[in-house]
């Protein structure tokens, strides 16, 4: 990292590396159809699984007699399994490539979704939810790895932004469409359909995506592990990761579950209205991913630096959640829209870090970041439930102070990460981190 204002340094070209991925035999249109679309479908399902519990939460509470703590644990198990597998996932992606790894893991997610639909006991549901999280753990990282293999690095932020926007469509599908589906079937039927769709997506990736040897594919395991250690030992990695992990942990845990109970308990909205709000929020998130990814590449080419956009988005997201934590309910729809639109800016960190390290390490770099993000998301989603649960529910409704304390804890961590980024550093510290 050159300094605290630019946030990244361009990666030097590697020996024998083609300057443009366009030199491959597939044309641009076929690249989109055979590489981007299959991986994007997998990430769409990943995000749908991540957020669907926000809509079915009342049904889970009713059918399984869950309190806030157990609901948070059940839902956050997705993040735990997802996060724990990120480091070995990076090695697998760099060694075997994104096509085979993502297809195999999505098949596991399909089995987990079927088990979730069939399970009757809380423990079995936790295991099934963990299998889903494990199974979709490669969806975004495999996409990013594939993009580094098939596309120019100058397009990386845009491609990452657009695939995350497709994920936003998954969140959109987990709002009004799922609520409508619950009028036809129950939450178990929804997961049966998701299981079948996920198995089809796994087959599509295996059959449609062409194979391409990854640079560094013959690297020994010891060298690969040393590469992971080098990433975690890089101060510049942690300055970027601290903002990403705190903003994304709050966004994933609140957006993936706790925003719906807040809308029900604090805002006093009807369940159908909550589903409509979630649809609006998903649209805002999708727009945010598309906007920040495309804008970052344009600003980067103009010499402005994606890191500034990264920090601006993080500040806006933190400010919005701070207003919610302070108890703002009037105009809350607009505040939540700001949070959902601005939070995706923190995902620019994946492209920023991918450019900092050699292409052969792309899988390990992005999964190292994803590991800390989802470990934090697990802690946040479960922790919010534990904090909320300290206030007694009255007729199933938790009071405003419970959410104020839980969301306020998330905001405090985000502010600390932003402060670390913004505090001036000495020239020696800059040289060590850059």
CA distance 93 to 86: 10
Instruction: Tell me the two tokens of residue 71.
Output: 């609901």
Output the pLDDT for position 4. Answer: 37
CA distance 136 to 359: 23
CA distance 76 to 151: 34
The answer to whether residue 213 sits within a structural domain is: no
Instruction: Report the pLDDT averaged over residues 318-338.
Output: 93
Look up tokens 């929804």; give the residue. Answer: 190
Instruction: Tell me the two tokens of residue 229.
Output: 């250690």
Burial of 386 (0-12, 13-18, 19+ CB in 10 A): middle
pLDDT of 334 above 90? yes
DSSP 374-408: HHHHHHHHHHHHHHHTTSPPBTTB--HHHHHHHHH
The answer to whether residue 262 sits within a structural domain is: yes
Which residue did the predictor score with more confidence, 289 or 6?
289
Q: Which domain holds residue 289?
A: 26-207+219-433
Our CA angle for 210, 211, 214, nearest 5°, is 135
The answer to whether residue 183 sits within a structural domain is: yes
Output the pLDDT for position 424. Answer: 67
90's CB contacts (< 8 A; 6+ apart) are 141, 228, 363, 364, 365, 366, 367, 368
Least confident stretch, 76-80, 221-225, 289-293: 221-225
pLDDT of 26 above 70? no
Output the pLDDT for position 118. Answer: 95
Output the pLDDT for position 214. Answer: 59
**Centroid of chain to Cα 394:** 33
Q: Which of 21-35, 74-88, 210-224, 396-410 has the highest mean pLDDT?
A: 396-410
Buried/exposed code over 159-182 (b: 16+ C-beta within 10 A; e: otherwise): bbbbbbbbbbbbbbbbbbebbebb
CA distance 246 to 149: 29
The answer to whether 109 and 45 are in contact (CB under 8 A) is yes
Q: How confident is the model at residue 301 (pLDDT cuts 50, 70, 90)?
A: low
Which residue did the predictor score with more confidence, 9 or 287?
287
pLDDT of 202 above 90? yes
What tens digit of pLDDT does each residue of 61-98 get? 899 888 888 898 898 899 889 888 988 898 898 888 89
DSSP 242-265: HHHHHHHHHHHHIIIIIHHHHHHH
Q: How confident is the model at residue 9 (pLDDT cuts 50, 70, 90)?
A: very low
Strand ranges (E), 158-314: none
Instruction: Report the pLDDT averaged over residues 97-109.
Output: 95
Tell me the pLDDT of the chain averaged across its residues: 84
Least confident stretch, 113-127, 243-257, 346-360: 346-360
The answer to whether residue 16 sits within a structural domain is: no
> How many domains are contained in the chain?
1
pLDDT of 48 above 90? yes
CA distance 170 to 182: 17
The answer to whether residue 13 sits within a structural domain is: no
Which residue did the predictor score with more confidence, 361 or 52?
52
The answer to whether residue 19 sits within a structural domain is: no
Instruction: Report the share of the chain in percent with pLDDT over 90.
Output: 43
Output the pLDDT for position 13. Answer: 39
Our CA angle for 430, 251, 176, nearest 5°, is 150
pLDDT of 262 above 50? yes
Buried/exposed code over 313-352 (b: 16+ C-beta within 10 A; e: otherwise): bbbbbbbbbbbbbeeeeeebeebbbbbbbbbbbbbbbbbb
Instruction: Tell me the two tokens of residue 80.
Output: 């735990």
Instruction: Report the share of the chain in percent with pLDDT over 70.
Output: 87
> Looking at residue 84, which CATH number applies to its domain?
1.20.1250.20
pLDDT of 23 above 50? no
Output the pLDDT for position 181. Answer: 94
pLDDT of 362 above 80? no
CA distance 344 to 161: 8
Among 403, 74, 375, residue whose Cα is nearest residue 242: 375
The answer to whether residue 20 sits within a structural domain is: no
Instruction: Report the pLDDT averaged over residues 284-289.
Output: 89
CA distance 109 to 99: 16
Among 352, 367, 372, residue whose Cα is nearest residue 160: 352
The answer to whether residue 12 sits within a structural domain is: no
CA distance 348 to 157: 7
Which residue did the predictor score with more confidence, 426 or 73?
73
Q: How confident is the model at residue 22 (pLDDT cuts 50, 70, 90)?
A: very low
Output the pLDDT for position 393. Answer: 86
């Amino acid at each position: 990292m050159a300094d605290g204002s630019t946030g990244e340094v361009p990666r030097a070209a590697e020996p024998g590396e083609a300057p443009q991925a366009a030199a491959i035999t597939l044309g641009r249109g076929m690249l989109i159809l055979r590489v981007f679309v299959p991986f994007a479908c997998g990430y769409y399902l990943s995000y749908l699984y991540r957020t669907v519990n926000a809509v079915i939460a009342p049904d889970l509470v009713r059918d399984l007699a869950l309190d806030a703590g157990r609901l948070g644990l059940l839902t956050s198990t997705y993040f735990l399994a997802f996060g724990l597998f990120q480091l070995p996932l990076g090695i697998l992606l760099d060694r075997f490539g994104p096509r085979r790894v993502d297809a195999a893991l999505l098949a596991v997610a399909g089995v987990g979704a079927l088990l979730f639909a069939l399970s009757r006991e809380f423990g079995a549901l936790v295991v099934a939810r963990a299998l889903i999280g494990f199974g979709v753990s490669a969806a975004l990282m495999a996409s990013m790895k594939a993009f580094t293999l098939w596309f120019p690095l100058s397009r990386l932020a845009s491609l990452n932004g657009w695939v995350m926007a497709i994920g936003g469509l998954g969140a959109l599908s987990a709002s009004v469409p799922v609520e409508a589906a619950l009028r036809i079937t129950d939450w178990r039927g929804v997961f049966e359909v998701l299981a079948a769709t996920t198995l089809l997506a796994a087959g599509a990736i295996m059959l449609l995506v062409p194979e391409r040897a990854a640079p560094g594919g013959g690297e020994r395991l010891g060298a690969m592990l040393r590469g992971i250690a080098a990433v975690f030992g890089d101060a510049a990695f942690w300055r970027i990761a601290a903002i990403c992990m705190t903003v994304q942990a709050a966004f994933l845990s609140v957006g993936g579950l706790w925003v719906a109970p807040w809308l029900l308990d604090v805002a006093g909205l009807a369940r159908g209205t909550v589903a409509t709000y979630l649809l609006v929020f998903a649209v805002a998130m999708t727009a945010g991913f598309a906007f920040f990814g495309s804008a970052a590449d344009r600003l980067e080419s103009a010499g402005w630096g994606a890191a500034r956009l990264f920090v601006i988005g993080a500040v806006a997201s933190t400010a919005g959640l701070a207003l919610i934590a302070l108890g703002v309910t009037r105009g809350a729809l607009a505040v939540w829209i700001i949070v959902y639109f601005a939070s995706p800016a923190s995902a620019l960190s994946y492209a920023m870090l991918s450019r900092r390290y050699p292409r052969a390490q792309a899988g390990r770099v992005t999964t190292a970041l994803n590991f800390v993000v989802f470990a934090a998301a697990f802690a946040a989603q479960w922790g919010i439930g534990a904090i909320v649960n300290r206030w007694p529910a009255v007729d199933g409704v938790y009071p405003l102070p419970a959410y104020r304390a839980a969301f306020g804890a998330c905001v405090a961590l985000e502010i600390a990460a932003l402060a670390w980024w913004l505090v001036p550093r000495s020239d020696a510290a800059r040289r060590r981190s850059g």
